[in-house]
Homo-oligomer: A and B are copies of this chain.
Amino acid sequence: MRDIRVSSLAEAVDGIRDGMTILISGFGNAGIPVELIHAVIDQGAKDLTIVCNNAGSGRTDIAGLLAAGRVRKVICSYPKSSGAVVFERLYAAGRIELELVPQGTLSERMRAAGAGVGGFYTPTGAGTRLAEGKEVRHLNGRDHVLEMPLKGDVALIKAERADRWGNLTYNLAARNFAPTMAMAADLTIVQARRIVELGALDPETIVTPSIFVDRLIEVPNPEPAGRP
C-alpha cells in the first residue's frame, strides 16, 4: 500500500543533510511552506543551497533559515523584495552566495530536471550579464543561451488538499512554483492544509500527481510567511 503520510514535521524533514540543495515553493508570501521550513531550522542541516523565487522577508521561514546561518547559497530571481532584511544584511556582509536567474529560466531549469531534459536553449538572458560564461548558440534567427537542469535533493512544498498517495491541489496563486519543484527533487516533502480520502480528489483536477510526492503531513492552519 502506498501511504506517504508521516506523523510529525520532524519525521517529514528527517534525513536532510548538510550541503543539500532545497527547493522551496512560494512567490512573495503565497505558497511558502512555513512549518516545513521551521522544521528544517529545528532539524539543524547547514551549508544548504536554497532555490526559491525570493530570498525571504521578515524574520520567519526563509529569512529565519538564513538568519540561523544554515544557508550557503541562494538561487533565485528576485532577492530584493521589500522586507528582505536578513538576506540584505548577509549579502552585504559577503556571508551568502547569490546565483541570480531570470524567473522563467529558473522555473524552466527545474522543469528540465523533473522532465529528464539534459539542457535547453533559451533566448532569455542572451547578451546580458546573466549569460556570462554560458554557451551561446544562434537558433531560429536568435541568440540562445544553454541552460542546465536545476535539481533539488529536497523540495519543500505547500499544498491545499492531498491524499495518502500524494496527489495535490493548491489554493489560487499559491500554486506558483510548487508543481514544478515537486517534479524536480529527489525527495519531495509536502505540507497540506487538509488530507482527504483516497479518491476524494477529482482525477481531472489534480495538479500534482502522486508520483512526484514522497512525504506528506497535514498542517491545518499554516502560519503566514514573512512575519517580522
Contacts and interface: CB of A to CB of B under 8 A. Distances in A.
A130 interface: no
Number of chain copies forming the complex: 2
Nearest to A151: B140
Contact of A123 (B116, B172, B205): B116
Contacts of A142: 118
B122 A139 contact: no
A119 interface: yes
A140 B122 contact: no
A195 to B, nearest CB: 19
A215 interface: no
Interface string A46-75: 000000000000000000000000000000
A91 interface: no
Given A205-B204, A205-B205, A117 B118 contact: no
Contacts of A149: 140
A89 B140 CA distance: 36
Given A108-B117, A120-B121, 13 more contacts: A112-B120, A116-B123, A118-B122, A118-B123, A118-B137, A118-B139, A118-B142, A118-B144, A119-B137, A172-B203, A175-B204, A204-B207, A205-B205
11 contacts: A112-B120, A116-B122, A116-B124, A118-B121, A118-B123, A118-B139, A119-B120, A119-B121, A172-B203, A172-B204, A204-B207
